[in-house]
Amino acid sequence: MSFRREKFVPQGGPDGGDGGKGGDGILRGSEGEHLLRAFQFKRMFEAEDGGKGLGKKKSGRGAKDLVVNVPVGTLVWKVRDDGSKELLGDLVDDGCRMVVARGGRGGRGNTHFTFSENRVPLLAEGGEFGEEVELELEVKLLADIGIVGLPSVGKSSLLRACSRARPDVAAYPFTTLEPVLGLVERKRRVFVAVEIPGLIEGAHGGAGLGDEFLRHMGRTRGIIHLLDGSSADVVKDYRQVREEMRLYDEALLEKPEVVVINKIDLPEVRERLSTLRETLQKNGLRGLFISALTGEEVEDVLDRASDIVDEQRSKMKVPSETMPALHPRSREGKPSVRREGEVFVLSSPHAERLVRRVDLGDERVQAQLWREFQRTGVVRALERAGAKSGMMVRIGNYELEWK
Ligand SMILES: Nc1nc2c(ncn2[C@@H]2O[C@H](COP(=O)(O)OP(=O)(O)O)[C@@H](O)[C@H]2O)c(=O)[nH]1
Ligand SMILES: [Mg+2]
């Protein structure tokens, strides 16, 4: 609320500007995020208030939106008051944004409450309250790197060696029947690796596995193709797996891959390292040699895989996109009245915002409020509900006597 100040004019016209809009609460999918890090120590996030309206009809500044980064692939659930949940959507792309709680609009300054017979408007609105929402976030790890290879080449062992994932390791095939995901941390970079249940293993697991396989593989940015150094023919093994991949989806063959020969800790493998290298070379392959069991040279593989992930991430940048807000803004709506014993409870956002902001003890304000209530249908609603002189009317947190 503000009035112009001019020399020789005791009280100028009203010039109170509107309040600024409160910031929106936004979730943003981010490739760089792999855990809900932002939520480790903090569970409650609040965008800033909009700035106050000023004199000279200056509007308050709109507050900056609050943007919280979550991993790409996060599912967002809204928790209702009764505890039930509603899926609002998932943040599938890097940079996509979801407005989960809208900031309130600023209140209108007293310039809006001038009427012909009222040159000194003492009414102004409080700002609209921002939306408040309780969410549950479910992180679905999306694999960056798929580890493929025949049964028992050491896929589970490698995933164990480089992440905290604990897949079954066994000396016989057909163990890992579900894709196991592990978070791999390299220096300051993080990526997700998935053990793809061997295609042959999968063939024993029923039809559903093929879909699982594709779901994870389709999205990976690269492949670690693991070979067993103690195998009689690593090139044949390699081709067999590539052929299986081709049968699932030819596009899988286009993904960048690292060829890795495992089990170099075994003496018989160590002895024929140079032969193995030659054989691979002759077939146009270059491999890295590791032992998933002892961890020897595993770092090299992870560095290489990490590079692939970074390269592919920068290639696959999708334009930032804002999802539509989640629920339609409640409209101001007509005032409604309900009775609670002797008290009439008025529900009208506009009226609530007015009483929050003005000096109810001032008789001039009361008169103007009355006028405004008449104009906006509040009086009629109360009368229709049976309000009579002397009864109490509750508006927001205030109770007024109806005269
Ligand atoms: N000596 C040796 N054995 C290994 C190595 N990696 C895996 N193994 C063994 O090979 C067998 C199969 O390993 P696993 O990780 O389950 O293979 P997967 O079927 O490809 O997941 C297990 O007995 C492992 O202990 C390795 O680097 N050296
Ligand atoms: Mg396994």
Number of domains in the chain: 3
> Which ligand has the shortest distance to the CA of 265?
1
Residues having C-beta closer than 5 Å to ion ligand 2 = 155-156, 175-176
- d(CA 153, ligand 2 centre) in Å: 8
Nearest alpha carbon, ligand 1 atom 23: 171
Per-residue pLDDT for 285 more than 70? yes
Q: Which atom of ligand 1 is nearest to the CA of 170?
A: 16
pLDDT (tens digit per residue) in 41-81: 888 999 999 998 888 889 999 999 999 999 888 889 999 98
**pLDDT: which is higher, 20 or 138:** 20
pLDDT at 269: 96
Whether residue 1 is contained in a domain is answered as no
Same domain flag for 210 and 268: yes
With a 6 Å cutoff on the Cβ, whether 179 touches ligand 1 is: no
Same domain flag for 166 and 301: yes
With a 6 Å cutoff on the Cβ, whether 197 touches ligand 1 is: no
Whether residue 10 is contained in a domain is answered as no
Read off the DSSP letter of residue 285: -
Same domain flag for 163 and 106: no
Same domain flag for 120 and 164: no
pLDDT at 195: 85
Whether residue 394 is contained in a domain is answered as yes
> Which ligand has the shortest distance to the CA of 176?
2
Whether residue 250 is contained in a domain is answered as yes
Confidence band of 284 (pLDDT split at 50, 70, 90): very high
Supply 338's token pair.
Answer: 């309900």
Same domain flag for 129 and 239: no
User: Edge-to-edge strand order for the sheet containing 392-395?
Assistant: 336-340, 343-347, 392-395, 398-401
DSSP letters for 317-336: -----EEPPSSPPPP----E
Cα angle for residues 36, 38, 42 (degrees, 5° grid): 115
pLDDT at 208: 52
- d(CA 149, ligand 2 centre) in Å: 9
Domain end: 101, 122, 140, which one?
140
With a 6 Å cutoff on the Cβ, whether 292 touches ligand 1 is: yes
Report the relative pairing of strands 392-395 and 343-347 from DSSP bridges: parallel
Same domain flag for 292 and 397: no
Which of 198, 215, 224 shows the shortest CA–CA distance to 306? 224
pLDDT at 205: 47
> Which ligand has the shortest distance to the CA of 160?
1
With a 6 Å cutoff on the Cβ, whether 170 touches ligand 1 is: yes
- Please provide the average confidence, as pLDDT, over all residues in the chain: 84
Same domain flag for 163 and 308: yes
* Ligand 1, pocket-test mutation among 152, 155, 157, 273, most atoms within 8 A of CB: 157
Distance CA(74)–CA(141), nearest Å, equals 8
Same domain flag for 116 and 178: no
The two most distant CA atoms of the chain are separated, in Å, by 104
The distance of Cα 257 from the centroid of its chain, to the nearest Å, equals 30
Q: Which atom of ligand 1 is nearest to the CA of 160?
A: 15
Beta strands in 157-270 (DSSP E): 180-186, 189-195, 222-228, 257-262
Nearest alpha carbon, ligand 1 atom 22: 171
CATH number at residue 128: 2.70.210.12
With a 6 Å cutoff on the Cβ, whether 241 touches ligand 1 is: no
Q: Which atom of ligand 1 is nearest to the CA of 291?
A: 27
Secondary structure element (H or E) that encloses residue 36, with its range: none
Percentage, residues of the chain above pLDDT 90:
36
Name the residue range of residue 264's domain: 145-315
Same domain flag for 208 and 83: no
Same domain flag for 167 and 307: yes
Whether residue 165 is contained in a domain is answered as yes
Same domain flag for 308 and 288: yes
pLDDT (tens digit per residue) in 199-232: 555 444 454 555 666 667 777 899 999 999 999 9
Supply 126's token pair.
Answer: 């409080």
Whether residue 378 is contained in a domain is answered as yes
Report the relative pairing of strands 97-101 and 85-91 from DSSP bridges: unpaired
Same domain flag for 160 and 309: yes
Per-residue pLDDT for 172 more than 70? no
CATH number at residue 355: 3.30.300.350
**Please, are residues 173 and 198 in contact by the beta-carbon 8 Å criterion?**
yes
With a 6 Å cutoff on the Cβ, whether 267 touches ligand 1 is: no
With a 6 Å cutoff on the Cβ, whether 176 touches ligand 1 is: yes
Whether residue 103 is contained in a domain is answered as yes
Per-residue pLDDT for 171 more than 70? no
- d(CA 117, ligand 1 centre) in Å: 90
